[in-house]
């Protein structure tokens, strides 16, 4: 779906405000699609703006599952204003051959356009866009009992807010339901599919439920507000890996939401890293405001010494990993040190898969650990710092520090942007309706098959067709024309061979056009 007008306006404003300090990413607007199914042609139009008028790479992707996956792209060939380089300007046009999509009758297709000027991303400028006032405003809405029995009305309101937030950002919205003790839990998910290795996924999450007697400002309204802010900033840009934002339900009932999610992960999906916000708002510079669990000095001697040397002040974020995801923890701590030097980070690497230290298994990162997926818990320490934990006093007023919260979000934005391989560009989607007409007209049959040898050969068998001549074109998956010729028919049934130079391995399309119709068939060359 298209990103909202307000979102585009905010993007333009943010780019204008920072244009004096860094190269600006290109912007796509007025993206539209018009399908002509009788001729199996899709015309795409868009406007492309770039502050520096840099040449831009334009790529296309096609989906029939609402943008969850873009697995139809290889079936479509295109020509016009795409590829590299494309010059910024208005009324840019791409014409696509969508005949290979016609058998998917009645489907609604999503087409995504990505613009990338191939410039390095200014991560520092990106993290400075984190706004503590937005965090405060988001948390003001989220705060309140969010429990399936004692706070169902507000729980549903926060669910709706997450859905609306993800939807307005243009993310592909989905909801995972699961049953627990007669109730239905709901994980709210917003996804931005990667432009390159989309099967590799980076997740930012927080649970949005509370215990039955607490307004849950820190636990875990702070985490929810953090996820909303990360999504707001990063969803403006494409990334090579898939980015996913999740509001987990029923964490307070034993991690039910994250257990359900991890248990349903597709086999072909590779989790690259999970950034789990579990209370990120409580901060104190007073000595002796940070407790240390018994035995931590034996397992984490360096971290314990660091906290003691700071007079046990609760003025840091704890970066919790297990031994399997130590590189992810290093990524976060390095991002904080480089881009948010005011944020103190204490890193705990739990031995093995983390099960040895029960206190570090109390949030939604744990199911990922159990499945050997890399995940971090980013936390202010819960009841080891915040005395209002799981009480009616867990409120934002005069208790939470929004500068600290913003710094945690900034470090996360920097780490996630690097891990997901953010691109210096823009993206937009639009939809078009699939055909409902019959694929093969009753008066004509054209069969195509490919042979390899010293040269490549297409064999065409034409039966019952009411035309006397046709054109055949061979194009590669980028729409480049490799061969074209006209052939003539003197009888109602005929075979025809098309010889052309030997092709390298890859995906190709044979397009047969005659006055009243067209056929396109994909073929693969494997040497």
Q: Among candidates 168, 323, 318, 146, which has minimal Cα distance to 224? A: 146
Check pLDDT > 80 for residue 183: yes
Mean pLDDT of 485-505: 72
Mean pLDDT value across residues 61-88:
94
Pairing of strands 316-322, 344-350: parallel
Same domain, 377 and 252: yes
Share of the chain above pLDDT 70, in %: 89
How big is the chain, counted in residues? 527
pLDDT category of residue 522 using cuts at 50, 70 and 90? confident
User: Do 189 and 175 form a contact (C-beta atoms < 8 A)?
Assistant: yes
Residue 58 belongs to domain spanning: 5-120+425-433
pLDDT digit string, tens, across residues 26-62 = 999 999 999 998 889 999 999 999 999 999 999 999 9
Give the pairing of strands 375-379 and 316-322: antiparallel
Confidence of residue 1 (pLDDT cuts 50, 70, 90): very low
Same domain, 107 and 198: no
Per residue, the 3-state secondary structure of 126-174, as one string, reads: HHCCCCHHHHHHHHHHHCCCCCCCCCHHHHHHHHHHHHHHHHHCCCEEE
Residue 208 pLDDT: 98
Pair 163, 269 in one domain: yes
**CA–CA distance, 34 with 51 (Å, rounded to integer):** 28
* Residue-level pLDDT at 116: 98
| 156-182: average pLDDT | 96
Q: How far is CA 247 from CA 213, 352, 353, 378, in A?
A: 20, 27, 24, 15
Evaluate if residue 489 carries a pLDDT over 80: no
Is it the case that residue 526 has pLDDT exceeding 90? no
CB 153 within 8 A of CB 86: no
Among 158-167, 242-251, 449-458, the minimum mean pLDDT is found in: 449-458
With tokens 């339901």, the residue in question is 177
* CATH code of residue 108: 2.60.40.10
Task: Identify the pLDDT of residue 464.
Answer: 62
Residues 6 or more apart whose Cβ sits within 8 Å of residue 374: 271, 272, 273, 274, 321, 324, 325, 327, 328, 368
Q: Given the structure tokens 């399936």, which residue do they identify? A: 148
* DSSP letter (8 states) at residue 382: G
Out of 433, 460, 495, pick the residue that ends a domain. Answer: 433
CATH number of the domain enclosing 314 = 3.40.630.10
Say if residue 366 is in the same domain as residue 405: yes
Q: Are residues 148 and 31 in the same domain?
A: no
Kindly list the distances between the CA atom of residue 356 and the CA atoms of 94, 275, 296, 361, in Å, as whole numbers in the listed order. Answer: 57, 21, 11, 9
pLDDT value of residue 482: 86
Residue 438 lies in a domain: no
Whether 340 contacts 296, CB under 8 Å: no
Euclidean distance between CA atoms 300 and 289, whole angstroms: 19
Q: Are residues 116 and 165 in the same domain?
A: no
Choose among 393, 350, 392, 352: nearest CA to 372.
Answer: 352
Residue 485: what pLDDT? 86
Q: Which of these three, 391, 409, 433, is where a domain ends? A: 433
15: pLDDT strictly greater than 70: no
Regarding whether 157 and 299 lie in a shared domain, the answer is: yes
Residues 148 and 24 in one domain: no
What pLDDT sits at residue 444? Answer: 57
- Residue 171 CB coordination number (10 Å): 22
Nearest to 366 by CA among 162, 205, 190: 205
CA distances from 66 to 112, 172, 273 (A): 11, 7, 24
- Cα torsion angle, 320, 321, 323, 328, sign: negative
Shared domain check, 52 and 21: yes
C-alpha closest to that of 176 among 266, 273, 246: 246
Instruction: Tell me, yes or no, whether 22 and 159 share the same domain.
Output: no
Evaluate whether residue 519 is within a structural domain.
yes
* Residue 322 in domain: yes
Are 405 and 449 in the same domain? no
Q: 429 in a domain, yes or no?
A: yes
Contact 145, 151 (CB under 8 A): yes
Position 109 scores a pLDDT of 94
Residue 186 belongs to some domain of the structure: yes
pLDDT in tens, 239-294: 999 999 999 999 999 999 999 999 999 988 999 999 999 999 999 999 999 999 99
Band the pLDDT of 162: cuts 50, 70, 90: very high
Residue that the structure tokens 């980076």 belong to: 202
pLDDT confidence tier of residue 230, bands split at 50, 70 and 90: very high
Q: What angle do CA 323, 328, 332 make, to 5 degrees?
A: 125
- Provide the domain count of the chain: 3
Same domain, residue pair 191 and 205: yes
Residue 440 inside a domain? The answer is no
Decide if 439 is inside a domain.
Answer: no
Domain end residue (candidates: 367, 401, 433): 433
Least confident of 67-81, 432-446, 467-481, 483-497: 432-446
């Amino acid at each position: 779906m298209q990103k909202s007008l307000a979102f585009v306006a905010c993007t333009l404003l943010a780019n204008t405000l920072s244009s004096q300090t860094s190269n600006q990413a290109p912007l796509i607007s007025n993206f539209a699609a018009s399908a002509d199914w009788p001729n199996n042609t899709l015309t795409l139009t868009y406007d492309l703006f770039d502050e520096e008028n840099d040449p831009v790479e334009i790529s296309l992707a096609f989906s029939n599952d609402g943008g969850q996956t873009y697995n139809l792209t290889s079936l479509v060939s295109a020509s016009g204003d795409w590829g590299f380089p494309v010059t910024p300007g208005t009324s840019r046009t791409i014409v696509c051959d969508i005949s290979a999509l016609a058998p998917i009758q009645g489907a609604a297709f999503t087409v995504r356009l990505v613009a990338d000027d191939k410039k390095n991303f200014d991560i520092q400028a990106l993290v400075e866009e984190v706004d503590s006032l937005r965090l405060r405003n988001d948390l003001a809405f989220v705060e309140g009992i969010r429990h399936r029995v004692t706070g169902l009305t507000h729980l549903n309101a926060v669910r709706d807010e997450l859905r609306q937030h993800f939807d307005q950002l243009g993310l592909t919205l989905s909801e995972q339901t699961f049953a627990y003790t007669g109730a239905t839990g709901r994980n709210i998910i917003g996804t931005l599919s990667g432009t390159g290795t989309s099967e590799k996924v980076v997740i930012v999450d927080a649970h949005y439920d509370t215990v039955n007697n607490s307004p849950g400002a820190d636990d875990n309204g702070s985490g929810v507000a953090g996820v909303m802010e990360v999504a707001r900033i990063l969803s403006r840009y494409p990334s090579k890996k898939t980015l996913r934002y999740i509001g987990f339900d029923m964490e307070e009932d034993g991690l039910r939401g994250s257990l359900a999610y991890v248990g349903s992960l597709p086999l072909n999906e590779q989790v690259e890293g999970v950034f789990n916000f579990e209370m990120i708002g409580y901060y104190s510079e007073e000595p002796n405001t940070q407790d240390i669990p018994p035995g931590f000095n034996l397992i984490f001697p360096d971290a314990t010494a660091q906290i003691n040397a700071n007079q046990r002040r609760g003025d840091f974020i704890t970066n919790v990993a297990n031994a399997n995801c130590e590189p992810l923890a290093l990524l976060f701590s390095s991002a904080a040190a480089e881009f948010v030097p005011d944020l103190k980070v204490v890193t705990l690497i739990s031995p093995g898969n983390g099960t040895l230290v029960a206190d570090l298994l109390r949030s939604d990162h744990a199911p990922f650990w159990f499945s050997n997926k890399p995940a971090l818990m980013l936390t202010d320490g819960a009841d080891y710092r915040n005395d209002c934990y799981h009480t009616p006093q867990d409120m934002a007023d005069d208790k939470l520090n929004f500068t600290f919260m913003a710094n945690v979000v900034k470090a996360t934005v920097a780490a996630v942007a690097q891990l997901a391989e953010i691109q210096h560009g823009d993206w937009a989607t639009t939809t078009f309706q699939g055909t409902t007409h019959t694929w093969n007209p009753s008066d004509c049959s054209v069969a195509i098959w490919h042979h390899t040898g010293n040269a490549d050969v297409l064999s065409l068998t034409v039966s019952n067709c009411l035309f006397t001549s046709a054109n055949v074109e061979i194009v590669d998956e980028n729409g480049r024309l490799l061969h074209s010729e006209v052939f003539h028919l003197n009888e109602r049934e005929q075979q025809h061979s098309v010889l052309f130079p030997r092709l390298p391995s890859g995906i190709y399309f044979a397009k047969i056009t005659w006055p009243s119709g067209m056929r396109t068939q994909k073929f693969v060359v494997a040497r």
